[in-house]
Amino acid sequence: MLELKFVDSIASIGEQHWNGLAGTENPFTRYEFLWALEKTGCTTVKTGWAPHHAAVYSGSKDDKSRQLVAVMPLYQKTNSYGEYVFDWSWASAYQNYGLNYYPKFVSAAPFTPSHGTRLFTDESEVRNDIAKLIFDGLKKKAESIEASSWHILFPTEEENQLFDGIGIPSRTGCQFHWFNRGYASFEDFLATLNSRKRKNIRRERQKVAERGTRFETIAGASITVEQWDTFYQFYQSTYMMRGMEGYLSQEFFAELARNMPEQLFMIVALDGDKMIAAALFFRNNEKLFGRYWGSARDYQFLHFETCYYQGQEYCIQHKLQSFDSGAQGEHKIQRGFEPIITYSNHWIANEGFAQAINNFLDEERPHIERYQTEASSLLPFKKES
């Protein structure tokens, strides 16, 4: 017997129970990260990210052996900001027909375009049954509050197939990730590139070095208050250049530093003793995640050095297998970042719009696959003879 509950705060589930199922390997779906977002006001009704997480229990309420067997991050959204799987045109189409696209439901790591597990279950439970239970419950919830849809963003390929199989159609996207193929050094990696691209990277790095810029890698627990303050100024300036404010608060980063410092570090660029740029990275035992960056002003090639080359060197030094540097960015191709397919799933309540959007997804898919193929042909690696 399984019972589904929706909770308006991850604190209702608790760190021990959430991490007992979700684990802490993925920094963006562990309790500490999601609770930090909620606690500091980044995911609230006001920001359009109201927590509404799914929790599944086995046994009846009166059963003493009743236990939590599944959790899934879930948010009731009133906008499409911070998702990185774009549905603004769908919202516009709803508006044109006099319908409301918001609220909608989203299962994701907020403000984080990184793929990973979205449905966390006890090994003894059948994931397909739990996915159906949540889907059925969410359809009823959507009807009661007139929500338009449910979107599962950046699930694993296996989960994408699972949700597609129960009636939540799949969408594909493309990102660029770097893979460490056992390189002994950055020069070892460069040796795999064709001559022209290898020279370009060396030239970019040399230009940064000639300015006297040096770099320090600071473990999460060792980042000072002053360094966090400067980093946050840089982070906000990156958004201000686009006429907007960053999604995340300074208090949010302070929470991460207190509660999960072992999974983050900062690479700072220094001119003498003065910080001129900084990038915040997350990691687990296998993968590096590049996430937030900013600089005092626009220095030529400094972004590439701080966010990409320093990250690649870190992966090599610490024997991490891959580097997820975030969404978009065709400029990453010539730096050895390879195009990979990402996934999302989308259920639309309105039957007419559901059919139209499903047709769009079917038409979009071969274009994404063709784009991946074309992007792969531009990679800078030496051609095998």
The 10 Å CB-count burial string (b at 16+, else e) for 130-154 is bbebbbebbeebbeeeebbbbbbbb
Structural domains of the chain, count: 2
- Whether residues 353 and 221 share a domain: the answer is no
- Whether residues 23 and 148 share a domain: the answer is yes
- Whether residues 226 and 267 share a domain: the answer is yes
- Whether residues 349 and 248 share a domain: the answer is no
Let me know if residue 86 belongs to a domain. Answer: yes
- Whether residues 299 and 362 share a domain: the answer is no
- Whether residues 199 and 298 share a domain: the answer is yes
Let me know if residue 326 belongs to a domain. Answer: no
Let me know if residue 331 belongs to a domain. Answer: no
Q: How many residues are there in the chain?
A: 385
Whether the model clears a pTM of 0.85, i.e. scores above it, the answer is yes
CA distance 278 to 266: 7
- Whether residues 113 and 225 share a domain: the answer is no
Note whether 4 and 134 are within 8 A (CB).
yes
Let me know if residue 329 belongs to a domain. Answer: no
Give the model's pLDDT for residue 210: 96
Let me know if residue 336 belongs to a domain. Answer: no
Model confidence over 303-355: pLDDT tens digits?
999 999 999 999 999 999 999 998 878 999 999 999 999 999 999 999 999 99
Let me know if residue 215 belongs to a domain. Answer: yes
- Whether residues 98 and 140 share a domain: the answer is yes
Give how far the C-alpha of residue 181 lies from the chain's centroid of Cα atoms, to the nearest Å: 23
Domain ranges, residue 204: 181-320
- Whether residues 284 and 203 share a domain: the answer is yes
Let me know if residue 330 belongs to a domain. Answer: no
Q: What CATH number should be reported for the domain holding residue 234?
A: 3.40.630.30
**List of E strands, the chain:** 2-7, 49-51, 53-58, 67-72, 75-77, 104-107, 120-121, 149-153, 170-179, 214-219, 264-271, 274-283, 287-295, 322-324, 338-348
- Whether residues 55 and 13 share a domain: the answer is yes
CA distance 383 to 385: 6
Let me know if residue 267 belongs to a domain. Answer: yes
Note whether 337 and 326 are within 8 A (CB).
no
- pLDDT tens, N- to C-terminus, the chain (385 residues): 899 999 999 999 999 999 999 999 999 999 999 999 999 999 999 999 999 999 999 986 666 678 999 999 999 999 999 999 999 999 999 999 999 999 999 999 999 999 999 999 998 779 999 999 999 999 999 999 999 999 999 999 999 999 999 999 999 999 999 999 999 999 999 999 999 999 999 999 999 999 999 999 999 999 999 999 999 999 998 887 777 788 999 999 999 999 999 999 999 999 999 999 999 999 999 999 999 999 998 899 999 999 999 999 999 999 999 999 988 789 999 999 999 999 999 999 999 999 999 999 999 999 999 999 999 999 999 987 5
Note whether 13 and 71 are within 8 A (CB).
yes
- Whether residues 162 and 191 share a domain: the answer is no
SS3 sequence, 218-271? Answer: EEHHHCCHHHHHHHHHHHHHHHHCCCCCCCCCHHHHHHHHHHCHHHEEEEEEEE
Task: Give the sign of the dihedral formed by CA 157, CA 162, CA 163, CA 164.
Answer: positive
- Whether residues 126 and 225 share a domain: the answer is no
